[in-house]
Amino acid sequence: MQSVLSTVFEVQPDSKDMLVARIVQLRQDEESLVDPQGEKYGRLKVRVPLLHFMALSVFEDDRYDPILVIETNFDGPPGPFWAQLEAAVGEDLRAILRFCERPSGPTGALFDRVVAAGSRQPIASLLEGHSFQPLIVHIGNRGLDRDRILREAELFHAARTILADADRTAPNPYRSATSATAIHAGLRGALLESFPWLDEPAPARIPADENRSDWLRLGGFLALLLLVLSLPGVLLGLMLRPWWVAVLLSLVAAAAFAASIRDLGDLLRFFGAPDGAAPADARPRPTAGSRLVTALKGLAGVVAMIGVYLAIPSAAAAAAVAPLTGAGFGDIFRASAQVLGAGLASMPASALAILWWLRRLEARDASHDHPRLDEGKLRAMMEREDHIAQNHMGSLVLVKPGVLRAVLLRVGLRGLGLVLRVTEWARRGYLGSMRTIHFAHWALIDNGGRLMFFSNFDGSWESYLDDFIEKAHSGLTLAWGNATGFPPARFLLLDGATQGRKFKAWARHSMTVSLFWYSAYKDYTVDQIERHARVADGLRRRSLTNEEGALWARDL
């Protein structure tokens, strides 16, 4: 299991510059501490083996005091990680926290003890108490812990070294091998002594319990969503007799709302062909027959859901009420099913009413087409980019006011996050057809008033945003469409991020400088890590078929 947290503290405004200087000093100290292989950030790499990425950033806003954000991506639950981090850089973090404001909540007394002069009070509890759980997380190499990533990279390079045959005067048995399976057998024999873990089965990347939890959470989310959308019809079904009057009113309301939303057809066409389709290697191109099968399966699933929606609550109500009233089980079951049926019929009207309300708000939204960019901050951001294969981005934006915005932001991001947890191609690291993100997440702070985004990604910032705009713009619009100044969107899915120039300017304006940023495997992209994993999985097997061997050899 991999975890993503953002830890937030308000900064004393008069101490902001000193805080920045102290973070920069920590970065310089870590860059001077090398590991046994001569790489920078050796202290973190050796003493915090659970850590994948870590960043320290300071955000400024004229409407708020500055905030310090410690972003961490790590393996396992928070407790062991915080203990490792404190043992490695605890005193440095204590010095940094002394520039922060005393929290007004229940952690205030603990904060005082942590930052007191000469204090030895552990800081892990304070850091954990100020950590925000993200609304949505995407992980590019899900299920691969840091040590496994590094082990499999070492194995890959060892295999490539053997194949390269440094001694050009000696015959290379791998060049003369007649098949990929022969190369596999030879390499496995040569590497097994140095990598004895090849004889052990690979840990499941998504254990059964975690997979079951993902599906149960998605199912619970959908059930709650259906319940909320059906409430108007349920209430009408309880008040009106006969029950079909409630159904008729719901259908009339749905038709009225649909007629009043003039660009509803664009939304329907989007769902017929959404952007960001899965890549070719993650989902084969469907044939006419497979599309029919998929449609029939979808129809069967809908029928099954309707049956469950009607049957289980009706049976439960009948079982509970019948003994108390003396009425027949069948009569109560039938009456309950009729009320729930009225609720089911009202779901389209409820959804269309929300869309109608949303479009009225969107039509009045203001955008920020040409935000002012601080040239000094922009220069500092660009100086910190493109030094290794990966880059880092941190963004903080205001959320648009209103009840509907608050609800849609949480429901949209939470739902998207749960879908990504169970979708096959997303589990393999893809967002649409792009696979360049190691860890990314959105989180709400300040009682939902501001939306924070962090990402550790491959390539340049420009190419990263271009990929999003071209291949996953609807997800980006869903995530940021409720933020002030975002390019005009429709239905929280259309337009928005497709306006590339405006979106890039808005995104740059929302960013801050990554004062401190650590990557445990700075030379590897998401695709390279998956490539290493495939080679390692092949070498774990004692033998491969000819077809399996040919596929495996491509990665070498």
Q: What is the helix (H) or strand (E) element at residue 309, kind and residue range? A: helix 288-325
Residue at 518 is within a domain: no
Residues 503 and 379 in one domain: yes
Query: How far is the C-alpha of 188 from the C-alpha of 536, rounded, in Å?
Result: 10
Are 73 and 394 spatial neighbours (Cβ–Cβ below 8 Å)? no
pLDDT value of position 290: 65
Residue at 139 is within a domain: no
Quote the longest CA-to-CA distance of the chain: 96
The one-letter amino acid at 267: L
Residues 335 and 370 in one domain: no
Summarised one tens digit per residue, pLDDT across range 313-329 is 888 888 888 888 878 88
Residue at 296 is within a domain: yes
DSSP code per residue over 325-385: H---HHHHHHHHHHHHHHHHHHHHHHHHHHHHHHHHHHHT--B-SS----HHHHHHHHHTS
Residues 21 and 121 in one domain: yes
Summarised one tens digit per residue, pLDDT across range 150-201 is 999 999 999 998 888 645 555 555 554 557 888 888 899 999 999 999 999 9
Query: How far is the C-alpha of 240 from the C-alpha of 232, rounded, in Å?
Result: 12
Q: What are phi and psi of 268, to 5 degrees?
A: -65, -40
Residues 325 and 460 in one domain: no
Residues 80 and 176 in one domain: no
Q: Torsion over CA of 200, 202, 204 and 205, rounded to 10 degrees?
A: 150
Tokens of residue 371, six digits: 């935000």
Q: Write down the pTM of the prediction.
A: 0.87
Final residue belonging to a domain, choices 327, 346, 363: 363
Bridge partners for 376 per DSSP: none
Task: List Cα–Cα distances, 171 to 166, 176, 191, 379, 463, in angstroms.
Answer: 11, 9, 19, 54, 44
Residue at 326 is within a domain: yes
Residue at 538 is within a domain: yes
Mean pLDDT, the chain, integer:
88
Residues 198 and 212 in one domain: no
Query: How far is the C-alpha of 309 from the C-alpha of 224, rounded, in Å?
Result: 11
Query: How far is the C-alpha of 50 from the C-alpha of 87, rounded, in Å?
Result: 13
Q: How many domains does the chain have?
A: 4
Residue at 449 is within a domain: yes
The CATH number of whichever domain residue 31 belongs to comes to 3.30.70.100
**Cis status, amide bond into 66, omega within 30 of 0:** no
Residues 222 and 345 in one domain: yes
Per the structure, the complete domain to which residue 329 belongs is given by 208-278+285-363
DSSP code per residue over 458-521: ES-HHHHHHHHHHHSHHHHHHHHTTBTBPPPEETTTEEGGGSHHHHHHHHHHHB--EEEEEETT
Residue 170: other Cβ atoms inside 10 A:
8
**CA-angle at 150, arms to 144 and 155, nearest 5°:** 110
Residues 114 and 231 in one domain: no
Closest CA to 228 of 347, 135, 317, 348: 347
Residue at 343 is within a domain: yes
Task: List Cα–Cα distances, 412 to 33, 36, 435, in angstroms.
Answer: 43, 46, 22
Alpha helices by DSSP H, listed for 384-460, are 403-422, 424-427
Chain centroid offset of residue 540 CA: 30
Final residue belonging to a domain, choices 348, 363, 378: 363
Residues 502 and 397 in one domain: yes
Residues 127 and 100 in one domain: yes
Task: List Cα–Cα distances, 298 to 176, 208, 290, 304, in angstroms.
Answer: 52, 25, 12, 10
**CA-angle at 513, arms to 4 and 489, nearest 5°:** 70
Tokens of residue 193, six digits: 């002594």
Residues 214 and 359 in one domain: yes
Predicted confidence pLDDT, tens digits, the chain (556 residues): 899 999 999 999 999 999 999 999 999 999 887 777 777 888 999 999 999 999 999 999 888 999 999 999 999 999 999 999 999 999 999 999 999 999 988 899 999 999 999 899 999 999 998 998 899 999 999 999 999 999 999 999 999 988 886 455 555 555 545 578 888 888 999 999 999 999 999 899 999 999 999 999 998 998 899 889 999 999 998 898 888 898 999 999 999 999 999 889 989 888 876 555 555 454 455 566 666 776 777 778 778 877 887 888 888 888 888 888 878 888 888 888 888 889 999 999 999 999 999 999 999 988 887 888 888 888 888 888 888 889 999 999 999 999 999 999 999 999 999 999 998 888 888 887 788 999 999 999 998 999 999 999 999 988 888 888 888 888 889 989 999 999 999 999 999 899 888 999 999 989 999 999 999 999 999 999 999 999 999 999 998 888 888 889 888 8
Are 479 and 136 spatial neighbours (Cβ–Cβ below 8 Å)? yes
Residues 181 and 228 in one domain: no
Residue at 524 is within a domain: no
